[in-house]
Chains A and B, each alone.
Chain A
Amino acid sequence: MTLGRLVALVGQNVSRSKKNFLMSAIGIVVGISTFVFFIGLSEGIKDVVLGRIFLVDQVEVVAKKLDTGFMQIGGGRVLDESAAVDLRKLPGVRTVSPKMKLTFPTRGYGGESLFGKTIWAEIIADGIEPSLVEREIDKPADFQDFDADFSCAAGETCPDGQTCEAGTCVRQPCEYKEDTALAICPGLSYCAEDTGRCEMPIPALASNQLLELYNGSLATAMSSARNRMPKLSKGTVLGFQLYLTLGKSFLGKSDRAKPLTRRVRLVGFSDQAISVGITLPIAYVKRYNDRFGGPEAASTYHSIILRVADQTLVPQIVAQVRALGFELAESTENAERAADIIKTVQSVFALVSFIIVGIAAINISQMFFMLIAQRRREIGVLRAVGASRGDVRVIILGEAAFIGLFGGALGIAAGAGAARLADYVASKLPDFPFKPESFFTFPTWVWLGALGGAVFFCLFGAFFPANAAARQEPAAALTQ
């Protein structure tokens, strides 16, 4: 029997038993729509939790702390360059990126253009390798160490505020005055009081979470009846600059060196940035830690990020990291826990959905047994005119596959429709941190799994009736 003839025969059979087939498809529709809705929801939540809150394609390593019960003290192996070398050798580790925090008091001020008033704040900052975020930010060249020595021998251009002299970029001298400091130097550069030269602002990144946190909670909390804090978008804050006072804050000051004032410019958002604070190229942090905290502060990393080649290798890498005498940062521990919880919840949703579809398959099985009893003589006629046992089996299974495709497609449409409705309802709720545009993510495997699952369960339900129909002797069937 050709596929075209089978399709025609199945179509004729389905159209004359519409009611039976529709009733059978209802269970499939309910099961598949449940599957699509809940798996889409858990995938969406997974994207937010593991893609934005806890990152699972990387492992953050920290030095082992000794827990005395009332405080933690360092006691394990120090995270320095030799540790980074050892970690880089672990199988499955793609890249190693150290992080270093500023280890001295720092405060920031500015923000008139955004908030309508100057805001002062204690600043927490860390430093990362620019290569860690080069694919994540729009202009990677903005996030680099502008205090490094730049060559202009081969015709390269120098950063703003520097001129090319004998193949080397040299900062232009300037006369510092408070009211002209920002205008006297070319481009983005400004005149620094301590050096008397044009300096580029220190590039900084903020975390996506920080913006979420500000818009979701801080903006409201910091607003007063007279002064409402605006909601911010990435577009409005990119390029925003503020002053940093390095070596001095509200909490104290460094004893090692005189405080410095530098400008900082926000050049992008990244999930690699510190959650609350700003992230700078690590070269700045090393220099300032050396200046205000000493050589040890400049050579000790606070954590090292290991990017893994394959997420499935994470457990193996974690074990090796622990064997080297290090432990995981809380964010990585949380990511592991979150991933486990989401996986469990997702499995429960999938199980419930498949139980519903499984019950529908039993219903389908009963329906086919009933149909076959009704069509016993007809099957005998088909056998008399040349249908083999295999043909009879294929016809019944073809009808089941049709119910699966039809019920599966309807279930997918219903599940996706319910998801859109849920998103619409959620869009009317007040904003909260990490609120996504959509709570649902539908990877291709969800569609294929839904449709494939529907067809599979229908075929499974029809398998035994189809075999029973095929086993009927034509003579016995014709005597009905």
Chain B
Amino acid sequence: MIRLRNVSKRYRSAAQDEYALRDLTLTIEPGELVAVVGTSGSGKTTLLNIAGGLDRDFTGEVEVAGNALSRLSDRALSDFRNRAIGFVFQHFSLLDHLSALENVLLPATFVRGTPPLPNPRARGMELLEKMGIGHKAKERPGNLSGGQKQRIAIARALLFTPRLLLCDEPTGSLDTTTGQQIIETFQQLNAEGYTVVIITHEARVSEAVRRVIRLEDGRLVDDGKGGT
């Protein structure tokens, strides 16, 4: 699903260049449930941004679902993100002026070409029901709890059934119980066939996945089994 070959990313500064990733090579197969762990500044989020096509300023080769991301135009890459990747962020990244359902339907706004769904609205409602917040469809995010917001974000990520979910600290803003429920949601989605990559620094997440990739100073230092 994801192949990185000799990927490096450095931030240029006046004093000296700093590497966020150094010569990283790794492969994540379809259907995996992977946690990427490491200390702050170890390059976890950079890895997610590069694998998700959110950051194109790197060296090396990145291939996601058979697409070499550096060879795609901005438009083609945007289409790819729209249909093939679902993102879940720590701070939910919902638009406060939109209702829960409108947030879920946001990817449908940017569809080009043949629509992947005949009825996105019905699919959006179905996903909200599946996340257990169907009754909150018309609520604005400001009126919802952290857990409910993260479920909306997950529903949005799943709208076009992307097969790859990239999650950046999805439980970082949640209490222990809610965080656990979200982890279980990801396990369930993985069981349904989604490839799930979770950036985290929480041990409970590493224990809930089958594979843990550890980064330090932008280097892969460990690639082993998780707690399940």
The interface residues of chain B lying within 8 Å CB-to-CB of A13 are 97
Flag if B106 contacts A382 (CB, 8 Å): yes
Asked if A388 CB lies within 8 Å of chain B CBs, one says yes
Q: A473-B54, A473-B57, A478-B54 are in contact. Are A383 and B93 (CB under 8 A)?
A: no
With contact pairs A1-B110, A12-B97, A377-B93 given, residues A385 and B75 touching in the complex (Cβ less than 8 Å):
no
Partner among A8, A377, A388, A474 whose Cβ is within 8 Å of the Cβ of B110: A388
The answer to whether the Cβ of A232 comes within 8 Å of any Cβ in the partner chain is no
Chain B CB within 8 A of A355 CB: no
How far is A385 from B54 in the complex, measured between Cα atoms in Å? 10
Cβ of A445 to closest chain B Cβ, rounded Å: 37
A475 an interface residue at 8 Å Cβ cutoff? yes
Binds A, one of B60-68, B77-85, B210-218: B77-85
Task: Tell me the bound Cα distance from A15 to B102 in angstroms.
Answer: 15
Q: Which residues of A contact B109 (CB under 8 A)?
A: 1, 5, 8-9, 385-387
Contact B78 A478 (CB under 8 A): no
Q: In the complex, what residues of A have CB within 8 A of residue B56's CB? A: 473
Q: Which chain A residue shows the least CB distance to B93?
A: A381
* Distance, CA A216 to CA B108, complexed state (A): 70
Checking B45, B81, B89, B94 against A386 with a beta-carbon cut-off of 8 angstroms, the contacting residue is: B81
Q: Of B93, B98, B112, which is within 8 A of A12 by CB? A: B98
Instruction: Name the residue among A13, A391, A475 with the largest chain B CB count within 10 angstroms.
Output: A475
A76 at the interface (CB under 8 A from B): no
Bound form: Cα–Cα A15–B95 in Å: 14
User: Which residue on chain A has the smallest CB distance to residue B52?
Assistant: A384
Residues of B within 8 A of A386 (CB): 78-79, 81-83, 107, 109-111
A388 to B110, CA, bound (A): 8
Q: Chain A residues near B111 (CB, 8 Å)? A: 386
A381 to B95, Cβ gap below 8 A? Answer: yes
User: A378 — nearest CB in chain B belongs to which residue?
Assistant: B95
A385 with B82: CB separation less than 8 A: yes
Q: Interface 1/0s, chain A 402-439, versus B by CB < 8 A?
A: 00000000000000000000000000000000000000
In Å, the complex CA distance between A167 and B202 comes to 119
Q: How far is the CA of A208 from the CA of B87 in the complex (A)?
A: 77
Enumerate B30-61 residues with CB–CB distance to A below 8 Å: 45-46, 49, 52, 54-57
Q: Are A382 and B57 in contact (CB under 8 A)?
A: no
Chain A residues positioned under 8 Å from B49 (CB to CB): 474-475, 478
Cα–Cα distance between A386 and B54 once the two chains are bound (Å): 10
Say whether, besides A12-B98, A389-B74, A475-B49, A384 and B54 are in contact (CB < 8 Å): yes
A16 at the interface (CB under 8 A from B): yes
Interface, chain A (partner B; CB < 8 A): 1, 5, 8-9, 12-13, 15-16, 377-378, 380-391, 473-476, 478-479
Residue contacts A-B, CB under 8 angstroms, 29 given:
A1-B109, A1-B110, A5-B108, A5-B109, A8-B109, A12-B98, A15-B97, A377-B93, A378-B95, A380-B54, A381-B94, A383-B54, A383-B78, A385-B106, A385-B110, A386-B82, A386-B83, A386-B107, A387-B78, A389-B74, A390-B74, A473-B54, A473-B55, A473-B56, A473-B57, A474-B54, A474-B55, A478-B89, A478-B93
